[in-house]
Amino acid sequence: NFMLTQPHSVSESPGKTVTISCTRSSGSIASNYVQWYQQRPGSAPTTVIYEDNQRPSGVPDRFSGSIDSSSNSASLTISGLKTEDEADYYCQSYDSSLWVFGGGTKLTVL
């Protein structure tokens, strides 16, 4: 079993770039795909990144995902921040057949 640890909150100004980390506690981050979900207040989650770095259709290319084996972490980077990006973001990976979620990061765009 492993855990995924995310910062509780991050904040940045419109137009800037922000990176949210997701650190795996044991085992290699590269051994299972990582997904990222965006959840705006009062709404269902939506997928912004799947399989480490793939964007579903309709997700702007301002959103990108990456894996860093040296820090055993995944990252979600959002460039050209817009106020509409303000949301909670969750990373998710797999432990055998089971899903593991990070605790979520609240992104404030101010």
Partner 1 sequence: EVQLVQSGAEVKKPGESLRISCKGSGYSFTSYWISWVRQMPGKGLEWMGRIDPSDSYTNYSPSFQGHVTISADKSISTAYLQWSSLKASDTAMYYCARPPYWGQGTLVTVSS
Task: Give the closest residue to 1 by CA, choosing from 97, 70, 80.
Answer: 97
Q: Which C-beta is closer to partner 1: that of 73 or that of 92?
A: 92
CA angle 17, 53, 71 (to 5 degrees): 75
Q: Does 63 bind partner 1 (CB under 8 A)?
A: no
Q: Does 7 bind partner 1 (CB under 8 A)?
A: no
d(CA 68, CA 40): 27
Number of residues near partner 1 (by CB under 8 A): 20
The span from the CA of 32 to the CA of 89, in Å, is 19
Site for partner 1 contains 32 (CB under 8 A): no
Residues in contact with partner 1 by the rule CB under 8 A = 35, 37, 39, 44-47, 50, 56, 88, 90, 92, 97-104
